[in-house]
């Protein structure tokens, strides 16, 4: 059941209250209005289990107003000692990663929808109105703000020279990190109907890799935006527009010389970073995304099954179906575990080697849309309710 599809008309600027409400309605009610007769599947009940970890909340902070059901790309970013987070009501804040002490708070007065991202003492966020704002990482003062062509629904990617921004109208825009001026842009075609969201660009050496709503994955030269390679990774297929959805919205992962990407109603694929050659592919559909460690890939399927596969060959290692239809986030490796959030604010820890449930904690009662972030030995997560949580494993070493 396509329970999260949102209408996304070609060339449309997102941000008005009515249109955002329509997006939320489509996201929640599924695609029966587009011709399907399927019933919405009920989320799985939480299973009883004996915890083998002792995950405890270290601290939590209120970031701002709730953005429940808007499917925003508000994430946690970190420079290793400080964590940065944002709320839809325009607030951006920096906290000490260890203690949670707030360093600064900036009120941008914009409906933030993507980011933050950090590099070289600059923090960047994007808005539903198509604004991109650069702040100083030390004290939060504003360096610059500029307008791009449409809503920013992914965290930007930063280098020492440029800011790379994906917009919902199919553009990848490179901005000068010093003043926000446009350096170059490219544009891919956008289907008349697409899943709400965009994949964030990933910088690898002198290239940036990005996925698009038309199922294409491409690598571009950072200096001028020239195409290094591109591939139609997820060709649309089917009779209806819903059947033909093939967005690459999930985060791209890079390990060594390999690129890993998953698409909606498409496949999980491994590609060679230099050429874009497909190394292997598996028929797995995901809008949430993937996590990766040294040996394995972890993918949250559209039905909220969590699957572990070998990174080198794509061989399935285990499958966990206890969270079916709980609309889980992309998985995040954490020590010897892998963690996902769900629609009801729960975080679930699974053994990375076996898939066995190890612990469960609740981060408030609001949906967790974006993947948690691990900094040192702390796991950070933002909820759609505008809250930031930090969790640590307090399991005695002789029990772990």
The CATH number of the domain where 283 resides is what?
Answer: 2.130.10.10
The per-residue pLDDT for range 261-285, each reduced to its tens digit, is: 998 888 899 999 999 999 999 999 9
Whole-number pLDDT of residue 73: 86
In a domain, 166, yes or no: yes
How far apart (Å, rounded) are the C-alpha atoms in residues 52 and 377?
18
Higher pLDDT, 134 or 3: 134
Q: Is 3 within a domain? A: no
Q: What is the mean pLDDT of the chain?
A: 88
Whether the pLDDT of residue 143 is over 60: the answer is: yes
Region 132-154 average pLDDT:
98
pLDDT of residue 245: 64
Q: Is residue 125 part of a domain?
A: yes
CA 295/CA 373 separation, integer angstroms = 19
* 170's tokens: 């199919």
Q: Is residue 294 part of a domain?
A: yes
More confident call, 7 vs 336: 336
- Return d(Cα 222, Cα 225) in angstroms, integer: 6
Quote the pLDDT of residue 238: 63
**Above 90 in pLDDT, residue 254?**
yes
207-244 pLDDT tens trace: 999 999 888 999 999 999 999 999 998 766 666 777 66
Number of independent structural domains in the chain = 1
pLDDT at residue number 239: 66
Pairing of strands 278-282, 289-292: unpaired
Q: Are 195 and 214 in contact (CB under 8 A)?
A: no
pLDDT of residue 172: 98
Of residues 30 and 117, more confidently modeled: 117
7 located within any domain: no
Residue 1 lies in a domain: no
Cis status of the peptide bond prior to 116, with omega within 30 of 0:
yes
- Indicate if the pLDDT at residue 380 is higher than 80: yes
Q: Which residues does 193 contact at the CB level (< 8 Å), separation at least 6? A: 5, 7, 8, 9, 34, 241, 242, 244, 245
Task: Provide the pLDDT for residue 196.
Answer: 74
pLDDT tens digits, one per residue of 300-343: 999 999 999 999 999 999 999 999 999 999 999 999 999 999 99
pLDDT at 16: 37
Q: Looking at residues 91-104, what average pLDDT do you find?
A: 98
Q: Which helix (H) or strand (E) holds 29?
A: helix 17-29
Is a pLDDT exceeding 60 seen at residue 289?
A: yes
2 is a domain residue: no
Give per-residue pLDDT as tens, 64-84: 988 777 878 899 999 999 999
What percent of the chain is modeled with pLDDT above 70?
A: 86
Mean pLDDT, range 161-178, rounded to an integer: 97
What global pTM score does this model have? 0.89
Q: Give me the domain span that covers residue 176.
A: 17-393
55 is a domain residue: yes
């Amino acid at each position: 059941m396509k329970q999260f599809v949102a209408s996304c008309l070609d060339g449309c600027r997102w941000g008005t209250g009515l249109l955002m409400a329509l997006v939320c309605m489509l996201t929640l009610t599924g695609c029966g209005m587009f011709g399907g007769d399927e019933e919405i599947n009920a989320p799985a009940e939480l299973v009883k289990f004996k915890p083998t970890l002792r995950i405890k909340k270290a601290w939590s902070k209120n970031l701002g107003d709730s953005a429940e059901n808007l499917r925003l790309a508000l994430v946690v970013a970190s420079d290793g000692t400080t964590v940065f987070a944002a709320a839809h009501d325009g607030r951006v804040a920096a906290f000490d990663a260890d203690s949670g002490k707030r360093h600064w708070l900036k009120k941008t007065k914009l409906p933030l929808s993507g980011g933050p991202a950090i590099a070289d003492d600059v923090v960047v966020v994007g808005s539903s109105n198509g604004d991109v704002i650069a702040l100083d990482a030390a004290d939060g003062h504003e360096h610059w703000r500029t307008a791009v062509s449409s809503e920013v629904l992914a965290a930007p990617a930063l280098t020492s020279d440029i800011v790379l921004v994906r917009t919902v109208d199919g553009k990848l825009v490179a901005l000068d990190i010093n003043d926000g001026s446009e350096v170059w842009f490219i544009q891919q075609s956008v289907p008349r109907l697409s899943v709400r969201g965009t994949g964030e660009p990933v910088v690898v050496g002198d290239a940036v890799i990005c996925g698009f709503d038309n199922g294409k994955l491409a690598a571009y030269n950072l200096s001028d935006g020239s195409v290094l390679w591109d591939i139609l990774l997820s060709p649309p297929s089917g009779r209806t527009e819903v059947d033909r959805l093939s967005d690459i919205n999930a985060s791209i992962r890079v390990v060594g010389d390999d690129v890993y990407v998953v698409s909606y109603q498409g496949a999980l694929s491994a590609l060679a970073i230099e050429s874009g050659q497909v190394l292997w592919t598996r028929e797995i559909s995901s809008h949430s995304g993937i996590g990766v460690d040294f040996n394995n890939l972890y993918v949250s399927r559209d039905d909220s099954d969590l699957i572990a596969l070998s990174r080198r060959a794509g061989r399935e290692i285990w499958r966990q179906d206890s969270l079916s239809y709980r609309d889980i986030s992309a998985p995040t490796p954490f020590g010897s575990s892998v963690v996902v959030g769900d629609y009801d604010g729960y975080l679930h820890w699974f053994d990375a080697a076996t898939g066995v449930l190890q612990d469960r904690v609740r981060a408030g009662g609001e949906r967790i849309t974006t993947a948690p972030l691990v900094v040192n030995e702390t796991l950070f997560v933002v909820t759609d309710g505008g809250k930031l949580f930090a969790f640590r494993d307090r399991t005695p070493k002789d029990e772990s």
